[in-house]
């Protein structure tokens, strides 16, 4: 089976990280994050997934309507400085 790997840039990740950092303890959708950062929804989703998988951001479930429809809030776990290096 083929595996699709979509990588995001450090700038995209930095934009998403900076926005999540400004709204702590608030339920966020990917569409809100994408409109606030100026990214397309798919790029914002992939950047967010990259940050979560690398341990910079924690995804916390807030509401679960069923197995596939879950609302999340995001918390900062550690400082992200990829763009500044």
Class of domain 10-76 as given by CATH: mainly alpha
- Note down pLDDT in tens along the chain; length 85 residues: 778 888 899 999 999 999 999 998 899 999 999 999 999 999 999 999 999 999 999 999 999 899 888 999 999 999 987 654 4
Distance CA 68, CA 84 (A): 36
In angstroms and rounded to an integer, the radius of gyration of the C-alpha atoms of the chain is 13
> How many residues in total does the chain contain?
85
pTM to 2 decimal places: 0.86
């Amino acid at each position: 089976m083929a595996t699709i790997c979509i990588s995001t840039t450090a700038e995209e990740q930095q934009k998403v990280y900076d926005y999540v950092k400004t709204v702590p303890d608030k339920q966020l959708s990917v569409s809100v994050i994408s409109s606030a950062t100026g990214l397309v929804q798919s790029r914002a989703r992939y950047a967010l997934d990259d940050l979560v998988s690398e341990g910079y951001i924690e995804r916390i479930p807030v509401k679960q309507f069923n197995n596939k429809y879950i609302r999340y809030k995001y918390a900062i776990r550690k400082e992200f400085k990829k763009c500044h290096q």
